[in-house]
Amino acid sequence: MTVSSTPTSPPKRHDTKGPLTCCPRCHKAELLGRAMRRPVFRYDKVDAAERPSFYDMFHGDQHVGTLTRRGSSGSSTYDVRVMSDTGDVELMAGSLRDARALAEETYTAQWREGAYTARGPVREL
């Protein structure tokens, strides 16, 4: 029995919805694609009467983090939580703007390394 010498692999149906778990080629291609893009996030503000207000952070349909405001106005800080496959990352920021930047950078770094298999909206760099 001889092994085919054609350089291309036999026809295979690739999982375009979950390229990270399909095969090494799809995994590599997906990471290369992610390196040239940034996730697009969406925030939902949640106002709760007896709890500090917080923001839910989404990438597509996936809930990926929360930003929780601490303290009264003027001296407030934000607790940043980014969910990941390997455990949540907890950070702190001095303003909502910093909190968002921190959460986005943290998520994006892990996303580029192949975390988060679900596909969300992205934009070209």
Of 22-81, binders to Zn ion (CB under 5 A) are 22-23, 26
Q: Is residue 94 within 8 Å of residue 115, measured between CB atoms? A: no
Q: Which stretch binds Zn ion (CB under 5 A): 2-10, 12-20, 38-46, 56-64?
A: 12-20
Number of residues that bind Zn ion (CB under 5 A): 4
Q: Decide: is 14 part of the binding site for Zn ion (CB under 5 A).
A: yes
Q: Which residues contact 97 (CB under 8 A, 6 or more apart)?
A: none
Q: Decide: is 17 part of the binding site for Zn ion (CB under 5 A).
A: no
Q: Which residues contact 81 (CB under 8 A, 6 or more apart)?
A: 65, 66, 67, 68, 88, 89, 90, 91
Give the nearer residue to Zn ion in terms of CB position, either 11 or 74. Answer: 11
What residues line the site for Zn ion (CB under 5 A)?
14, 22-23, 26
